[in-house]
Amino acid sequence: MLTATKEHSANVAAEDTPLTDGFHLVIDALKANDIDTIFGLVGIPITDLARLAQAEGMRFIGFRHEQHAGNAAAIAGYMTQKPGICLTVSAPGFLNGLTALANATTNCFPMILISGSSEREIVDLQQGDYEEMDQLNAAKPYAKASYRINKAEDIAIGVARAIRAAVSGRPGGVYLDLPAQLLGQSIPAQKGKESLFRVIDAAPKQIPAPDAIKRAIDVLKNAKRPLILLGKGAAYAQADQEIKDLVEKSGIPYLPMSMAKGLLPDTHPQCASAARSFVLAEADTVMLVGARLNWLLAHGKGKTWGNHLKKFIQIDIAATEIDSNVPIAAPVIGDVGSCVTEILKQIGSVPKPSAEWIHAINEKKDKNIAKMEETLSKNPSPMNFHSALRAIREVVKANPDVNIVNEGANTLDYARSIVNMYKPRKRFDSGTWGIMGIGMGYAIGAAVVSKQPVIAIEGDSAFGFSGMELETICRYNLPIITVVFNNNGVYRGTDVNPTGGADVAPTVFVKNARYDKMMEAFGGVGYNVTTPEELTDALNKSLASGKPTVINAVIDETAGTESGRLTNLNPASTATKK
């Protein structure tokens, strides 16, 4: 407990009044809301805030770059429905964290980026302060909400506003600006204590209107070829039993989006993933559950959707999502748990999908699965994406509690379809932006929150964005196994410089790099593997040991296509096109 000194507290309190200050109140306010972990990177003015958090029993996980601390916080928020906290210094630290904040907002993950900021008087007059920046305004376009706290007595309210904004309605990233002078401000301890409180019902249930349910049921009743599409909003909602009931009681086939994989096991008989193109094109009625009709779903129209508009039912907590790309026949606004519960009450009145529809899907699935198994059973030397992922698939099947982090182009596309998931909220990937760089941040967040092992399946380019966090993984001794799919470059390693000059092509890296040795530099375990058997063996040993590990998986450098499955999104030069 602090007490007042003469200089310190002249206008605040009598000389021996116990005091508290901004540092303590920020930590107290977070703790009052059950926040027990901060992901961050220290420096002026927040080093003591991190020290104090640790001293007060919170976990402080220190990173080597703020973007990865922010990504760890975001994924922690997604996994727990509590906002993940990222703490950074001013200007450049804040900007490094801002990428993660924007990514969290884009993906609807609740997180709070807390950054220290420099002296307002100097910043606002642009007089050139140390790390000067108008952070609050810089954050606004990329955050769901942005706040600054100026007075110590407002800290509890400011933290409460940030928490509520992050988790209520559509979750997102919130920026909270803490000026350096706020942290040092003192007020009487009693007054500080009285200001603290716990946010009541931070993410209130949102019950759908009865007529919206009736409309949805009517649309379902008229469906000939219905399909359920589960998105990461459904996974986030933690309404796992309700979703299982919806799928099984309706008998409707379903498709999980990549992070909704495992909400029901991918091996579920109603899972239509192996017939994805077929069901998207052929379905006449689609029920979206926490999934947006963005680029990942070809905007709900065009060839992917069989060139004819479907009747959509859309369950979403954000009313403004409705009709974003195509007209929605039956919007159902509310939280997934409440909406599905209401739909379940009337699902008995909806006829089961026809045997013909189910049969057509199963036929397609069987054919595609057989084809894929044939490809997967091959053992080319060097390994390719398929044979390496076969090894990972089998290890995940035997260890369904492991978390999977996944990024890259081909590495992402193939792993998403080959590696089955069995449990909810265990797959974390490039998400709504298709972003590279989430790898080690998500892996650390997932390991810290779940206390279960993580296998990060990383393209060699993707891994490079966050590779320095291997040191963080070793420092906290986290059970993270990073498998680097090393094909010597971005997408693949075979491009050549057409001029014959000394520089390699833009997509090419150092040949035969040994990412496993990076891990050894920090005291972790490294493996260099060239066959699926070696990969299996290294994965099993790593899972058994729980030690931080990097497996450098050597992949055929000719394997892989430009941008994976997104080749068509690359603009072509009209001038040089033949």
Residues that bind ligand ADP (CB under 6 A): 107-108, 170-171, 231-233, 236-237, 257, 259-260, 290-292, 294, 296, 316-318, 321, 335-336, 432
Select the binding partner of residue 236 from ligand ADP, ligand TPW, none (C-beta < 5 to 8 A, by kind).
ligand ADP
Select the binding partner of residue 459 from ligand ADP, ligand TPW, none (C-beta < 5 to 8 A, by kind).
ligand TPW
Shortest reach from residue 176's CB to ligand ADP, in Å = 21
CA-CA distance, 235 to 72, in Å (whole number)? 18
Pairing of strands 111-117, 84-88: parallel
Helix axes 439-450, 66-80, angle to 10 degrees: 40
Burial class (CB in 10 A: 0-12, 13-18, 19+), 65: buried
Shortest reach from residue 291's CB to ligand ADP, in Å = 4
What is the chain's Cα-based Rg? 26
CA-CA distance, 157 to 369, in Å (whole number)? 55
CB-nearer residue toward ligand TPW: 223 or 412? 412
Select the binding partner of residue 260 from ligand ADP, ligand TPW, none (C-beta < 5 to 8 A, by kind).
ligand ADP
Select the binding partner of residue 491 from ligand TPW, ligand ADP, none (C-beta < 5 to 8 A, by kind).
ligand TPW
Select the binding partner of residue 436 from ligand TPW, ligand ADP, none (C-beta < 5 to 8 A, by kind).
ligand TPW
Handedness of CA 375, 377, 380, 384 (dihedral sign): positive
CB 462, CB 436: distance < 8 Å: yes
CB-nearer residue toward ligand ADP: 90 or 107? 107
User: In terms of DSSP H, where are the helices of 154-209?
Assistant: 155-167, 180-184, 189-195
Shortest reach from residue 231's CB to ligand TPW, in Å = 20
CB-nearer residue toward ligand ADP: 166 or 237? 237
Shortest reach from residue 530's CB to ligand TPW, in Å = 16
CB 459, CB 407: distance < 8 Å: yes
Question: What is the secondary structure of 438-482 as a DSSP string?
Answer: -HHHHHHHHHHHH-S-EEEEEEHHHHHTTGGGHHHHHHTT--EEE
Select the binding partner of residue 259 from ligand TPW, ligand ADP, none (C-beta < 5 to 8 A, by kind).
ligand ADP
Question: In Å, how far are 56, 87, 120, 294, 359 from 196, measured between CA atoms?
Answer: 16, 20, 26, 41, 60
CB 404, CB 381: distance < 8 Å: no
Phi/psi of residue 489, nearest 5 degrees = 175, 180
Closest residue to ligand TPW, judged by C-beta, is 459
Select the binding partner of residue 434 from ligand TPW, ligand ADP, none (C-beta < 5 to 8 A, by kind).
ligand TPW
CB-nearer residue toward ligand TPW: 90 or 410? 410
User: Hey, which residues does 39 pair with through a beta bridge?
Assistant: 61, 86
CB-nearer residue toward ligand TPW: 172 or 564? 564
Select the binding partner of residue 460 from ligand TPW, ligand ADP, none (C-beta < 5 to 8 A, by kind).
ligand TPW
Site of interaction with ligand TPW (CB under 6 A)? 408-411, 434-437, 459-462, 485, 487, 490-491, 560, 564
Give me 364's structure tokens. 């397609």
User: In terms of DSSP H, where are the helices of 33-65?
Assistant: 47-55
Shortest reach from residue 466's CB to ligand TPW, in Å = 10
CB 445, CB 74: distance < 8 Å: yes
Helix axes 47-55, 22-32, angle to 10 degrees: 50
Give me 302's structure tokens. 């065009």
CA-CA distance, 302 to 293, in Å (whole number)? 12
Select the binding partner of residue 424 from ligand TPW, ligand ADP, none (C-beta < 5 to 8 A, by kind).
none
CB-nearer residue toward ligand ADP: 386 or 425? 425
CB-nearer residue toward ligand ADP: 292 or 386? 292
CB-nearer residue toward ligand ADP: 428 or 485? 428
Residue 23 in 3-state DSSP?
helix
CA-CA distance, 255 to 230, in Å (whole number)? 6
Shortest reach from residue 234's CB to ligand ADP, in Å = 7
Give me 222's structure tokens. 């008229």
Select the binding partner of residue 435 from ligand TPW, ligand ADP, none (C-beta < 5 to 8 A, by kind).
ligand TPW
Shortest reach from residue 95's CB to ligand TPW, in Å = 14
CB 90, CB 136: distance < 8 Å: no
Shortest reach from residue 410's CB to ligand TPW, in Å = 4
Select the binding partner of residue 408 from ligand ADP, ligand TPW, none (C-beta < 5 to 8 A, by kind).
ligand TPW
CB-nearer residue toward ligand TPW: 391 or 409? 409
128 conformational bin, left if phi > 0, alpha if psi -120 to 50, beta if neither = left
Shortest reach from residue 142's CB to ligand TPW, in Å = 15
Stretch (H or E) spanning 408: none
Shortest reach from residue 182's CB to ligand TPW, in Å = 33
Shortest reach from residue 296's CB to ligand ADP, in Å = 5
CB-nearer residue toward ligand ADP: 131 or 316? 316
Select the binding partner of residue 335 from ligand ADP, ligand TPW, none (C-beta < 5 to 8 A, by kind).
ligand ADP
Shortest reach from residue 406's CB to ligand TPW, in Å = 10
CB-nearer residue toward ligand ADP: 76 or 136? 76
CB-nearer residue toward ligand TPW: 175 or 491? 491
CA 431 and chain centroid, separation = 6
